[in-house]
Every structure is written in C-alpha cells, then in structure tokens.
Amino acid sequence: MLNIVPTPIGNLEDMTFRAINVLKAAEVILAEDTRKTKNLLEHYEITYDELIAYHKFNEHKQLQKFVELAQAKNVALVTDAGTPGISDPGFLLIRECLKEGIQVLTLPGATAFVPALVNSGLPCDKFYFEGFLPHKKGRQKRLNYLKELDQTIVLYESPYRIVKTLEQLSEFFGQGRKASVSREISKIYEETIRGNLIELIEHFKNKPPKGEFVIIIEGANT
C-alpha cells in the first residue's frame, strides 16, 4: 500500500492528526530529504523502521524498487513540504503503483497554492495551475498560451527569478493585468502583495525578495 502524506509548508501545526497516525503506522517512509523528515518525525515523536530517500535524482533509477516496497509493505511518501506530486516527486511512483494494482491513498493536507489563490482576491471558481515555468526552452510558448486564458493562473517561482518572471509576465500579459504574490505561506514572515504587474515589479525591486513564491494572475477578459 502507498500512502501519500502532505506535510506542513511552514507552521508545524498544519500537520493533521490523520497524517501523524498514518506515518506512525507506516513500515517504510519514503522522504524527499531524510534530514528534514527526521526533524518532523522527532517533533511528533513518530518512530519508524525504515526511512529511505526518494527524490528527483533517484526516482527513475529506483522506481521498481519503490513499487516492490509498496507491494510488500505499508509505505508512506512525504516531500520536504506540501503534497507529493504537486511540483514535487511522487507522480511516477503513484502511476506505477496504480498500474500494478497497488492501493494508493492520498491524504488531504497542506499545499501552497490553495491559500495563495483564495487570499489573492481574484476569482478562484476556475483556475489554471501551471506551477513552475520552463527556465529556457518553451518558456515563451507557455507565456503566449497562458496570456489568453480566461481563468485565474497559478505559478510557482523562486526568490532568484521572481522579478524576472514578473517582468516577463508584464511584457506578455500587459502591465495592467492584476496579480497577487504570496511568499512564505504558513511561516512567520508570510506576506501577500496585490496590485497590477508593474506595481508588483516595483515592489520587489525595492524590497529584496526572500522565500518561496506563489504568483496568482488575473485571467484574460475578466
């Protein structure tokens, strides 16, 4: 059996009782970063038999091994923060387990884009989740596609590229397109800045960006 267990994206109190119980019952825990997961497990006094690294650098090579583990044992998969499979490793293992008829149970829990979307003040009845844009190849093609969508758009970005990405969004979408930028969600310095794209660019040029970012952009013709 494979259990997909969301973990806190900031505040450790975001961990659910159910997630704690599933981790306690797991025979094997697969973790994106075993050091970070050890800290989480220690915080909640969760003991474990096996803690194994599962990340983007080994998920292809050792996929069959992980599938066999899920066939034989009660396995829990966690990432550094949030829900596995959402811009984090997990999809390949889930797909292969389902192909093999292995039960997959996904728990509800923390993910960064939902609070950022709801808190943006932009329509959230329909939205398009893009995640991280390609860094180079295909980036302009994606921007040309996204600018025509009439749904609210969700992007992830790092502090090192946030200004550049906002500048490109302004170029493709227009300076007046409304947007919201949230950073450090569920952490001490959580912050959401709202405005049009040119206002957001000026803000982050004057205030050095820190933390992980979620960009919410108004859809076309809304």
Q: Which of these CATH numbers, 3.40.50.2000, 3.40.1010.10, 3.10.20.30, 1.10.260.40, describes 2-106? A: 3.40.1010.10
* C-alpha torsion angle, residues 188, 16, 131, 198 (rounded to 10): -30
Which one, of 170, 158, 220, 173, lies nearest residue 200 by Cα?
Answer: 170
Concatenated DSSP letters of 3-49: EE--B-SS-GGGS-HHHHHHHHH-SEEEESSHHHHHHHHHHTT---S
List the end-to-end C-alpha distance of the chain, in Å, as a whole number. 44
Q: Are 2-106 and 113-217 equal in CATH topology?
A: no
Just give the CATH number of 113-217: 3.30.950.10
Domain ranges in the chain?
Answer: 2-106, 113-217
pLDDT at 221: 84
Three-class SS string for 127-169?
Answer: EEEEEECCCCCCHHHHHHHHCCCCCEEEEEECCCCHHHHHHHH
Contact 10, 116 (CB under 8 A): no
pLDDT tens series, the chain, 222 aa: 999 999 999 999 999 999 999 999 999 999 999 999 999 999 999 999 999 999 999 999 999 999 999 999 999 999 999 999 998 999 999 999 999 999 999 999 999 999 999 999 999 999 999 999 999 899 999 999 999 999 999 999 999 999 999 999 999 999 999 999 999 999 999 999 999 999 999 999 999 899 999 999 999 986
How confident is the model at residue 19, as a pLDDT?
Answer: 98
